[in-house]
């Protein structure tokens, strides 16, 4: 039997590439110099797309593949997939939830600790010889016992809050409704009110058109000059212009960011700021999690073409 034909949008580690190539006929979109010409050539044969969270599949790509039946996303976020186009054409969509939750939460909490305690500068203090020549490193701000806000108490937000509870923090959260599994934490529906409560505001919302710029100037100013915003979701959840302006003039204390508009080509103004921690969208980037994500991408594709139930469907 001939193998199903897959369009691979971005690279995967070798441990995923080898079994993907064995099970499917794979066209590597990311290796093509002329992407439009490549799509025009292979698109008519493509039955499945294997993509990554931040790359997704837009309408043009979907429409270039008239036989497309399934899109398998390597990531929990599927905001970069044109779901409307998929609904219209009856295309199934899958993602990789759960397997990455703990690592994403770990990185968010690590970013808070790293920035609040000035650990990047402290490392440089040691390496540059400042410790010996100038003496003690400047004092930084405490984390434990302070106030945290979690904007979006889904799987990742819940794991962030659970970790913050271990730091004895006063935790509040915002979501569409209060959660019965969050009895120890305060529900504050309005993001601005949540931000007023928070010394540390975690942005852990699944991104969509509805959440675009949910962290706008009002939320940013409510976090305030002493506060920190930590974003481990999607850049589109924050008004990046407002964020850069507030970081620049001190209306926001600091920001720890794993995601950026136009990444990896982030706005160069971020590089000029001293009150930011910049991370290369790697919250799910552990060997353990990435192996599980790759497996789930293949399991979803395999299930689709075998006519079985999809392990983790979105659509």
DSSP state of 5: E
Q: How far is the CB of 154 from ligand 8YV (least distance, A)?
A: 12
3 state SS of 34 = coil
* Cβ neighbour number for residue 195 with a 10 Å cutoff: 24
Nearer to ligand 8YV, 264 or 307 (CB): 264
Instruction: Report helix, strand or coil for 297.
Output: helix
Considering beta carbons, is residue 125 or 260 the nearer one to ligand 8YV? 260
**Cβ-based neighbour number of residue 313 at 10 Å:** 14
Q: Which is nearer to ligand 8YV, 46 or 205 (CB)?
A: 205
- Output the smallest distance, CB 313 to ligand 8YV, in A: 16
> Which residue is catalytic, options 234, 240, 290, 298?
234
What is the C-alpha R_g of the chain? 21
In the bound state with ligand 8YV, the residue whose beta carbon lies nearer, of 48 and 224, is 48
In whole angstroms, the minimum distance from the beta carbon of 252 to ligand 8YV comes to: 24
Which of these is catalytic: 52, 92, 281, 290?
Answer: 281
Could you give the CA distance from residue 287 to residue 75 in angstroms, rounded to a whole number? 14
- Assign 26 to helix, strand or coil: strand
Please state the separation of Cα 19 from the chain's center in Å: 26
Of residues 62 and 156, the one with the C-beta less far from ligand 8YV: 156
For residue 56, give every residue at least 6 positions away whose Cβ sits within 8 Å of its Cβ, in sequence order, or none. 9, 73, 78, 79, 80, 81, 82
Do residues 10 and 50 lie in contact, with contact meaning Cβ atoms separated by under 8 Å? no
Q: What are the two backbone dihedrals, phi and then psi, of residue 273, each rounded to the nearest 5 degrees?
A: -85, 140
Round to whole Å and give the CA distance between 44 and 54: 24
Shortest Å, Cβ 291 to ligand 8YV: 12
Q: What residues have CB less than 8 Å from 168, skipping those under 6 apart?
A: 144, 145
226 annotated active-site: no
Report the nearest approach of ligand 8YV to the CB of residue 52 (Å). Answer: 3
Q: How far apart are CA 154 and CA 160, in angstroms?
A: 10
In the complex, the smallest distance separating the C-beta of residue 172 from ligand 8YV, rounded to whole angstroms, is 25
Copy the structure tokens of residue 62: 């979907």
Nearest residue (CB) to ligand 8YV, 164 versus 283 = 283
Active-site residue 123, yes or no? no
Question: Of 193, 221, 241, 263, which one is the catalytic site residue?
Answer: 263
Binding residues (CB under 6 A) for ligand 8YV: these are: 52-54, 74-77, 100, 281, 284
197 is catalytic: no
| Residues marked as catalytic | 234, 263, 281
């Amino acid at each position: 039997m001939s193998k199903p034909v897959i369009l691979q949008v971005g690279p995967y580690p070798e441990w995923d590439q080898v079994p993907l190539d064995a099970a499917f006929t794979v066209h590597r979109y990311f290796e093509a110099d002329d992407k439009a010409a490549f799509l025009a050539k292979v698109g008519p044969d493509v039955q499945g797309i294997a993509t990554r969270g931040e790359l997704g599949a837009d309408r043009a790509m979907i429409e270039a593949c008239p036989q497309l039946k399934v899109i398998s996303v390597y990531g929990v976020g599927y905001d970069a997939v044109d779901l409307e186009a998929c609904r219209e054409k009856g295309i199934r969509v899958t993602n990789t939830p759960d397997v990455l939750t703990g690592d994403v939460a770990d990185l968010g909490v690590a970013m808070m600790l790293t920035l609040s305690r000035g650990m990047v500068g402290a490392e440089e203090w040691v390496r540059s010889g400042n410790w010996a020549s100038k003496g003690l490193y400047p004092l930084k701000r405490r984390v434990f016992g302070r106030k945290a806000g979690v904007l979006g108490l889904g799987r990742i937000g819940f794991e962030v809050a659970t970790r913050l509870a271990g730091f004895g923090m006063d935790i509040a959260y915002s979501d569409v409704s209060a959660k019965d599994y969050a009895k120890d934490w305060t529900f504050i529906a309005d993001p601005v009110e949540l931000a007023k409560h928070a010394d540390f505001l975690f942005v852990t919302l699944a991104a969509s058109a509805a959440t675009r710029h949910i962290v706008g100037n009002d939320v940013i100013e409510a976090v305030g000059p002493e506060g920190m915003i930590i974003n481990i979701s999607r850049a589109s959840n924050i008004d990046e212009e407002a964020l850069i302006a507030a970081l620049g003039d001190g209306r926001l204390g600091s920001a720890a960011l794993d995601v950026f508009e136009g990444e990896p080509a982030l706005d160069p103004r971020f590089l000029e700021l001293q009150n930011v921690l910049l991370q290369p969208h790697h919250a799910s980037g552990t060997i353990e999690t990435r192996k599980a994500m790759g497996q789930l991408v293949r399991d979803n594709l395999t299930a689709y073409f075998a006519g079985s139930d999809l392990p983790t469907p979105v659509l």
